[in-house]
Chain A
Amino acid sequence: MKNVRFDFIIHWLWTIVFALLVLSGLAMVGAKYGWILNYDIASADYIHRLLAAVYVMLTFISVAIEVIRGIKGDDKKLTWFIIGKSGYQLFTFITTLIFIITGVIIWVCMDSNIAAVSFALYIHEKLTYIVIASVIWHIYVKCHALLWPKKTEAKKNSMEAGK
């Protein structure tokens, strides 16, 4: 555990939060989607709002770290980091910002500006589909991470000796 890097922790924390956000968000999309959480919209709404705060916090921490790295001129690539200057990291950064902005509009304008909420909801929903497709592509590209660790010879020998 000593050598676990900060970007690694942020990556997986963010993944867990995002997965739960998608699950709770999908249940609220419409009547056709309600079955995903057995029409328990109240819980989905609660979980979605709660985790959205965590999501925003994790993103802002990541942005702050990236800005500090920029100021210091640190060009070392953080391989596990969720945001960055190029590739999937840049895609995640842009989509996350859109998610946060539209999410804030939905949350704040819910009782006042219906037009703004409708537009933000449309973007928020359609972007979810795009991002989920992209996550599956991301999993496909990085699928070597899913390979189960092979037992080394030393381990095998020690296990056999134990028998």
Chain B
Amino acid sequence: MMQKPWFKLVIWILATSFFFMASSIIISHLSPGPTEHQSMRYMEGMMGAMHNSLMGLSMTIEEDFDLKRLIINASAITIPLICISIILGLYIRLIRGKRNAG
């Protein structure tokens, strides 16, 4: 496996990526303090990440009444649907079992 050219290429990419990361740490660490533009973009990015988090998702649901109603309806019929499917599954299984036995 280690002698295959495509695998060598993967190893080379992975190895160089670590050198890239180390150099990016040095560049970032030694660069002069963040500018206002950099800080603003970072804060915007963090806000975006918050929207994707559980808290952000729940906020989206809270604001969307249609989605809220859909989730309430869906969760209301989930347990009955599971029960019905279990009963149907058992029924089919038993009938087939009887047929196969007969």
Instruction: Tell whether, in the assembled complex, residue A149 and residue B5 are in contact, meaning their CB atoms are under 8 Å apart.
Output: yes
Q: Which residues in A have their C-beta under 8 angstroms from that of B45?
A: 34, 39-42, 44
Instruction: Tell whether, in the assembled complex, residue A32 and residue B31 are in contact, meaning their CB atoms are under 8 Å apart.
Output: yes
Q: Which residues, 1 to 18 on A, are CB-close (under 8 Å) to B?
A: 1, 3-4, 8, 12, 15-16
Smallest CB separation, A106 vs chain B (Å): 13
Which of B4, B5, B42 is close to A30, meaning CB atoms less than 8 Å apart?
A: B42
Q: How many residues of B contact A (CB 8 A)?
A: 36
Q: How far is the CA of A15 from the CA of B25 in the complex (A)?
A: 19
Interface residue SS majority, chain B:
helix
Chain-B contact segment, one of A21-29, A51-59, A63-71, A89-97: A21-29
Q: Which residues in A have their C-beta under 8 angstroms from that of B102?
A: none
Instruction: Tell whether, in the assembled complex, residue A41 and residue B5 are in contact, meaning their CB atoms are under 8 Å apart.
Output: no
Contact code string B12-27 (vs A, CB < 8 Å = 1, else 0): 1011011101101100
Interface residue SS majority, chain A:
helix
Q: Which residues in A have their C-beta under 8 angstroms from that of B96?
A: none
Instruction: Tell whether, in the assembled complex, residue B34 and residue A42 are in contact, meaning their CB atoms are under 8 Å apart.
Output: no
- B29 interface residue (CB < 8 Å to A): yes
Instruction: Tell whether, in the assembled complex, residue B14 and residue A145 are in contact, meaning their CB atoms are under 8 Å apart.
Output: no
* A34-B2 CB under 8 A given contacts A16-B14, A42-B48, A149-B8: no
Instruction: Tell whether, in the assembled complex, residue A41 and residue B48 are in contact, meaning their CB atoms are under 8 Å apart.
Output: yes
In this complex, the interface size class of chain A, counting residues with CB under 8 Å from chain B, is 35 or more
**Residue from the set B5, B11, B28, B55 with the largest chain A CB neighbour count within 10 Å:** B28
- B1 interface residue (CB < 8 Å to A): yes
Q: How far is the CA of A135 from the CA of B2 in the complex (A)?
A: 19
Q: How far is the CA of A111 from the CA of B56 in the complex (A)?
A: 13
Smallest CB separation, A65 vs chain B (Å): 20
Q: Which residues in A have their C-beta under 8 angstroms from that of B53?
A: 45
Instruction: Tell whether, in the assembled complex, residue B34 and residue A32 are in contact, meaning their CB atoms are under 8 Å apart.
Output: yes
Q: Which residues, 23 to 48 on B, are CB-close (under 8 Å) to A?
A: 24-25, 28-29, 31, 33-34, 38-39, 41-42, 44-46, 48
Instruction: Tell whether, in the assembled complex, residue B19 and residue A136 are in contact, meaning their CB atoms are under 8 Å apart.
Output: yes
Smallest CB separation, A127 vs chain B (Å): 13
**Residue from the set A29, A30, A31 with the largest chain B CB neighbour count within 10 Å:** A31
Q: Can you list the 5 inter-chain pairs with the closest CB atoms, starting with the nearest? A: A41-B45, A31-B34, A42-B48, A31-B42, A45-B49
Residues of B near any A CB (own CB < 8 A) = 1-5, 8, 10-12, 14-15, 17-19, 21-22, 24-25, 28-29, 31, 33-34, 38-39, 41-42, 44-46, 48-49, 51-53, 55
